[in-house]
Amino acid sequence: MQDHNPYEKQYVLFVEPEPHLSYLFEQEYKDENIEVIGTKRGQEAIDIYNTHVDRGNARELFVFIDVGVIDVAWHEIVENMFQRSIVPPIIVIDREEDISRSVLASKTGARDYIVGSAGETWSISPKDLYEAIQKNLDRPTMKVINEAYTRNVVRDANEYPEFQDLVLIRTKQHFDQVISERNKKVEEGGEIDLFDLCLPYAKSGFSDVNQCRDIIEHYFEKPIAQMDKANVLIIEDEEMVRKATYDTVSVFYNVVAEAPSCEIAIEKFKSHSDIDIALLDVYLLDGTGIELYPKLSSINLSPVFIVTTAFQETEVAKQLIEDGAYDYINKPFSQAELHKMMGRAWYHKNWPHLEDVLDIRNRRFIERMYFLNFVIEQNKLKNRKTVISDIYGLFPELVDHIFVKKSLWD
């Protein structure tokens, strides 16, 4: 571990009812420059944490918290520590996956939530814990600060009246209960939402992407392609590439402007305050993306940036991401790849609790339908239109049905 650890000494604090994981970890890495601290008591863990922060050792501390800790609720420990300092990574360990605990862990300040159990005993190995440390140890402080904002958005989702439906339907014994409650609502004349349309299919195995599309279009009473669109700016110096990108992007997005140079991009940014996504090329006619990005950000912080780059320019793209761009995509990219990237960018911008915390695209169709229902309801409350990106961002499988997987320039 010394080879990967940027600090002189690493302190690893375990908060668990019984000293099982701390013992295994200490035995495995006893020859490394690590000091393992174990405690059964939540308050003692908080005191240890505060002592390290007061001594200026916050960057050398790493914390594992077992949800089974007894004297203080595990989430209160996380929240207390995070409010004291956002620097030390805190990981919550659970014996079985629970989405409500996962959301609560993120909301209160944990960097990660991991599950490792086989029956009554832990299946997490010292190597798993080591990898968790390496994964979270050097994440940029700015990312942690951004996650503090994300937790506030998660809190909004958690207070959504139907949030517990998602928790309930994960177990078979509660499925019929949810169905019954919703059928009663319909019988009493309640307004039918997207989730109501999904539930009858979910019991028999809701897994077909065409069925998913049909239900969505039935709810909106129009084809997805005819729905409202988000706004995009294309910044690209090569005319052929710019036209090909326009032809592809305009299928699901409203391209408000195109710019071959830094000067024109700045003009377009000033005249279009409603840009949602900007596609930014690395090299332009009169400058570079690295020079242009801070100028555009100073005009409008709202748009999310995707860097379009050749393979040999990847390092420049990574620098732009460090400066604040969302992600990069290498040329030549396929139409489907571009739209999937833009869908992720849309959710990163507008629904960070779905994109960054809940890893929503890796969940089942019925769960994603629930969150689409949440997005639709929130849009209504904010007098905002639900756009195509809200749908394709959650269901990238639908994109593959539209585009042939080929380069824009084939």
Share of the chain above pLDDT 70, in %: 76
CATH 3.40.50.2300 fits 10-147, yes or no: yes
Residue 167 has pLDDT above 50, yes or no: no
Q: Mean pLDDT across the chain, nearest whole number?
A: 78
Q: Where is pLDDT greater, at 372 or 196?
A: 372
Tell me whether residue 266 is exposed, middle or buried, using C-beta atoms within 10 angstroms of its C-beta: 0 to 12, 13 to 18, 19 or more: middle
Question: What predicted TM-score, i.e. pTM, was given to this entire model?
Answer: 0.57
Domain ranges of the chain: 10-147
Note the pLDDT tens digit of each residue in 118-156: 455 667 888 888 888 777 665 443 344 344 434 443 444
**What value does the mean pLDDT take over residues 257-266?**
95
> pLDDT tens digits, residue range 16-65?
998 888 888 888 887 667 889 999 999 999 999 988 877 777 667 889 99
